[in-house]
Structure 1
Amino acid sequence: MSSEFLKFVSRRSTVYSHKGMVASTQPLANSVGLKILNMGGNCVDAAIAVSAALCVSEPASTGIGGDCFALYFKLDDKQKNKAAGSGKVLGLNGCGRAAKAVTPQDVWNEHNDGHPMSRIPYTSAFSVTVPGAIAGWYDAFETWGSGNVSFADILQPAVTLAEEGFPVSELSAKAWRNSIAKLKKQNPDAKVNPFILEGERGPNEGEFVKNLPVAECLKLISREGKKAFYEGPVAEAILETTSKRNHKLAKEDFKNHTSTIVEPIKLDFQDHKVWEIPPNGHGLVALLALGLIQELHNEGKINLRELKHNSPEYLHVLIEACKLGFHDSDEYVTDPTFKELPVTALLHPHYLKTRAKHFDKSKIIDGETMTHGVPDPKYKSDTVYFSVTDSNGEACSFINSVYEGFGSGILVEKYGFCLHNRGSNFNLTPGLSNCLEGGKRPYHTIIPGMITNKDDSLYAAFGNMGGFAQPVCHVQHVLNMVVFGMTPQQSLDSPRFVLNSDNDNPKDRGRGADGPVRTPVTIVQIEEGVGEETIQQLKHLGHTVEVLKGYARQTVGRGQIIRKESCGEQLVFAGGSDMRGDGAAVPFV
């Protein structure tokens, strides 16, 4: 058998620690997180350091030209160091906004001779919004950090990796190499591109690389904080890059950028509380799907305790619930400063009952006719992923991303990083919720997750990379642990599915984002481990199924989970790391 195949059928053991833990896709980043914990930093400090290290060591997935989101489980001061301490879940939206002056017509003029089109191309300069990650890091540090380490302390390990170099891990190297053609095409005039090695290629596994320009950029941010990025030379370099491509980003767009401390949204599910970042993130999809599944259980249409894990019946329920969630997200997930969003009404049992009526055990939902629901107004209420826990018993669920491989692929040459392409998840249909508008945040796919117990103590910090795969995988991890009693590693090792639109279908509803229900047919992409009989039964129900094998299993993303165990008065964490990535869950001692 090939080494690639063996990598994906291997199994890892759940890791335990009585102090704290770091779980990410890169061992080097894990080491950085442990270093900050050892210096007295808390889980938030360590998470920022891990994020910075990942921006250097896994640049195809993340970078300082991207966005971030975070959930922080903060204990009440009197509850720290207690195994069953109660606390509160806090949230941070570190997503950037579109240029204030941009309109859909600008995109049409640039790419379609002025004629309307539904989406922004993924490699268009117009897919670039203001990168929010650096502000997100700095604001999380100032708001939630321990005060025991400085911002420069937190970024120094990433600076060292970039300046002194590091060996590239296996799967990161493969993703890097897969993007070389894109990087060349997007930057034909670049004199120095740190991501393209001698011989016009990407790195091989274990090859030693450096990124001196990004090291200088991180040093600048270390000294001057977020202002260096949004009002200083870094912003000027970004604007110089985008202006050459006819973008409308301006100095004011950077100077006016802010992170937002948000109140997370939650769903009570099977004696637990599942927490997500509110829109413009699409964690709402996961909560809607879980709510629909719970409603079907409450109505006796299914029995969660009797359904066999990854059976055709079980998978059919999850697939249909997630599809319904995506139909609603295409209507309601947008920047809440541009439109009032009925989140509470959408998650109310009354609304979930109406949506549950669309579920049929014997067949799939008709994608040609299905659309979003309309909640009753009387219930109105005024994306690398990693997890870190600390010896206080607190946890930070953090995600940082540039979206597709190296994002837009547009290089800010002076500082050695690529700009993300999150703006591609706007639509260009005027009048719809998520249509491109100046100063607006786009529909966003990166979502950190958190689960607490009924008594508001921590259950787990978890997440899963992978664009539109993320809420679908959140649903599966919640059910794996809460209903089926899996350990974190068992949940991550378990074969899973994701949903995608049919790229061969020319129909585009022009609504929401470029997600799984963009086209009438939704593709179910499922890992081979579920078995041929299950796949055939899903097809019999009407699902269009694609089986993922070998490296293609990267499609289901890479997850990390740290769960607090019930061990009397002793604080114990159990951690798992996805075998589809290069990383691990590492205990702090």
Structure 2
Amino acid sequence: MFDDLDYSQPYGSARSPVMGNNMVACSQPLAAQAGLEMLRKGGNAIDAAIAAAMVLTVVEPTGCGIGSDAFAIVWDGQQLQGLNASGRSPAGWTPEHFAGHAAMPQRGWGSVTVPGAVSAWVALSERYGKLPFATLAEPAIAYAQDGYQVTPIISELWRLGAEQLKDQPGFAECFLPGGKVPAAGEKVRLKDHANTLKSIADTQGESFYRGELAHAIIAHARANGSVMSLEDLATHRVEWVETLSVPYAGAVVHELPPNGQGIATLAGLTLLDALGVGKHPVDSVETLHPVLEAMKLALADLQHYVTDSEHMQVKPAQLLDPTYLAERASRVSEHAANPGHGSPKAGGTVCLSTADENGMMVSFIQSNYMGFGSGVVVPGTGISLQNRGAAFTLEPGHVNAVAPGKRPFHTIIPGFVMNADGTPLMAFGLMGGPMQAQGHLQMMLRILRYKQNPQAAANAPRWRIEAGLQVSVEREFDQLLAQALRAKGHLIDFEDPSGVFAFGGAQIIQRTRHGYVGGTDPRKDGLIAAY
């Protein structure tokens, strides 16, 4: 598996794969370099990931913030370990609390669950880090204090977010300096953000969950009608979990268990094997039609069954049972279908990858959810809060129905691949809301089954399944292939890569015999920093 990659670049991007012994793959160059700085200081891949993640809250606030949620998968040199740092709903979030609402609030305090990103940084550092936690925060504090130039992509996402969120409590004060959206190339300073990061660094996160910052968060919550309490913050805990995995193309693909959607990627890959995908060229209708049908089957089960693992009505293993999935695969025909869920028998986001010369590899993801998330910013702190509560439903009896102290269904998922012999192969992710499970499957199909190098796989035109028979594809998608898919009943829509989610942003680091090779998404400002 180490040295059988195809290094050709068959797609439009001019980006080439990057090689090195230490590596950070990230959606923003300043964040990637911050991670590399930690590696040069003698830190490990965990230190690099945390430093990069902190910088991203400053330089890419359209996708993540200090009030985000986070997940990670870590190869520590001996074993693979998963981290779920997503927050739970406030204790006061009973169904009665939302009486009179037709649906869960999408923005504002009514969409905010307990933020978990800070707890992820602290937990990862305490368990695996080599450098002092305060050292990891230094680059982010410096960029927030001294300023950075906003990139064109982030300026546009900032504008789109501000159009919707400018009236949310605290948003304009923090994110509309001088009353306007920062233009591309404009220098932005986030001094409140810098002070908050310093407080988090000095207290190992205690101030955020039990100290001064926690009191500021809850004071703002109460002033705006939220029932979130100091106890909700103080009782938040991360959860170390075992990954779910399936064999695929000679390797083993790992995802975190629910409340995330990674299980849909694993089910989809198992369905691809059941359908015999891999005998025709990767960009052919003979390949893509069954791939689309398999992904639809996996997503149908995802939407019906997956929620907080404590509230699941079926076990994840049941959804991944090969016999069950073979029966699901038997439903695929030569024509596009709109499947429902099966009946298994008992039995606005950023992602980054890091790797160091000692073999540690990390896949990390943190997210606001919808762009700037809830739009709520705690005054004087720069703490922008996610809107993960919007993923709950008010439908009585649904597995993802809102309830006190419950984790909502989550779109953000880190990914990891092991070789069949138990050695690590790849840390990867692909941000983009509902695109993520689909994007993970597309990356694995291309890299593992068709041996494309990480950069070529990131460059390739993508598709995204919508409702029913609708499939959105990028403008660069092959026109003849689109026509062939339409002939099979797929409703193909060419879409410009705009908006918060679009077609996602991949960050991939793959191990080779001599080091690492990385790919970063051309749809973002990404950089592979390596030495």
Normalized against structure 1, the TM-score is what? 0.85
Kept in 2: contact 1:553–1:580 (CA 8 A): no
| Matching residue within 516, 522, 528 for 1:573 | 516
Structure 1 equivalent of residue 439 of structure 2: 473
Kept in 1: contact 2:165–2:171 (CA 8 A): no
- Distance in 1 of aligned mates of 2:28 and 2:396: 42
- Aligned residue pairs, count: 520
Question: How far apart are 1:203 and its partner, in Å?
Answer: 1.3
Match status 1:459 vs 2:425:
yes
Kept in 1: contact 2:275–2:290 (CA 8 A): no
Kept in 2: contact 1:296–1:356 (CA 8 A): yes
| Matching residue within 318, 321, 324 for 1:345 | 318
Kept in 2: contact 1:48–1:154 (CA 8 A): yes
Structure 1 equivalent of residue 84 of structure 2: 93
Gaps of 5+ in 1: 1-7, 77-87, 298-303, 502-520
Kept in 1: contact 2:210–2:234 (CA 8 A): yes
Structure 1 equivalent of residue 42 of structure 2: 40
Kept in 2: contact 1:495–1:526 (CA 8 A): yes
- Distance in 1 of aligned mates of 2:469 and 2:229: 38
- Distance in 1 of aligned mates of 2:290 and 2:500: 22
Match status 1:326 vs 2:299:
yes
Match status 1:296 vs 2:275:
yes
Deviations 1:34-73 (A, max 9, x none): 1111111111111011000000000000111110000001
- Distance in 2 of aligned mates of 1:358 and 1:90: 35
Task: Report the CA distance shift for 1:173/1:461 in structure 2 as closer, same or farther (over 3 A).
Answer: same
1:561 aligned counterpart, secondary structure = strand
Aligned ranges for residues 47-446 of structure 1 at < 5 Å?
Answer: 47-76=49-78, 88-109=79-100, 112=101, 117=102, 119-145=103-129, 147=130, 149-187=131-169, 190=170, 193-198=173-178, 200-297=179-276, 304-339=277-312, 341-361=314-334, 363-366=335-338, 370-377=339-346, 379=347, 383-446=349-412
- Distance in 1 of aligned mates of 2:430 and 2:404: 30
Task: Report the CA distance shift for 1:75/1:561 in structure 2 as closer, same or farther (over 3 A).
Answer: same
Task: Report the CA distance shift for 1:98/1:351 in structure 2 as closer, same or farther (over 3 A).
Answer: same
Counterpart AA for 1:312: V
Question: How far apart are 1:447 and its partner, in Å?
Answer: 0.4
- Distance in 2 of aligned mates of 1:417 and 1:252: 19
1:485 aligned counterpart, secondary structure = coil
Kept in 2: contact 1:358–1:365 (CA 8 A): no
Counterpart AA for 1:54: L
Kept in 2: contact 1:186–1:410 (CA 8 A): yes
Question: How far apart are 1:499 and its partner, in Å?
Answer: 2.1
Range that drifts further, 432-441 or 329-338? 329-338
What CA RMSD, in Å, does the superposition of the two structures yield over aligned residues? 1.7
| Matching residue within 538, 541, 547 for 2:485 | 538
Kept in 1: contact 2:119–2:237 (CA 8 A): yes
Kept in 2: contact 1:97–1:442 (CA 8 A): yes
- Distance in 2 of aligned mates of 1:290 and 1:268: 9
Range that drifts further, 64-73 or 543-552? 543-552
- Distance in 1 of aligned mates of 2:480 and 2:447: 25
Kept in 2: contact 1:138–1:226 (CA 8 A): yes
Deviations 1:131-185 (A, max 9, x none): 000011101111122x3x1110111111111011111122111111221222312
Question: How far apart are 1:9 and its partner, in Å?
Answer: 4.5
Structure 2 equivalent of residue 28 of structure 1: 30
Kept in 2: contact 1:577–1:584 (CA 8 A): yes
- Distance in 2 of aligned mates of 1:408 and 1:191: 10
Kept in 2: contact 1:310–1:530 (CA 8 A): no
Counterpart AA for 2:336: I
Normalized against structure 2, the TM-score is what? 0.95
4+ residue segments displaced more than 6 Å: none
Deviations 1:387-428 (A, max 9, x none): 000010220000011011100111112201321111111111
Deviations 1:310-338 (A, max 9, x none): 22232221221111111111222111123
Kept in 2: contact 1:427–1:436 (CA 8 A): yes
Kept in 2: contact 1:527–1:553 (CA 8 A): no
Deviations 1:213-263 (A, max 9, x none): 111111111111121101112222222222233222111111110010010
Question: How far apart are 1:292 and its partner, in Å?
Answer: 0.7
- Distance in 2 of aligned mates of 1:537 and 1:192: 48
Question: How far apart are 1:554 and its partner, in Å?
Answer: 6.0
Question: How far apart are 1:376 and its partner, in Å?
Answer: 2.2
Match status 1:16 vs 2:7:
no
Match status 1:560 vs 2:507:
yes
Counterpart AA for 1:153: T
Kept in 2: contact 1:272–1:453 (CA 8 A): yes
Counterpart AA for 2:331: H
Counterpart AA for 2:473: I
- Distance in 2 of aligned mates of 1:261 and 1:21: 25
1:556 aligned counterpart, secondary structure = coil
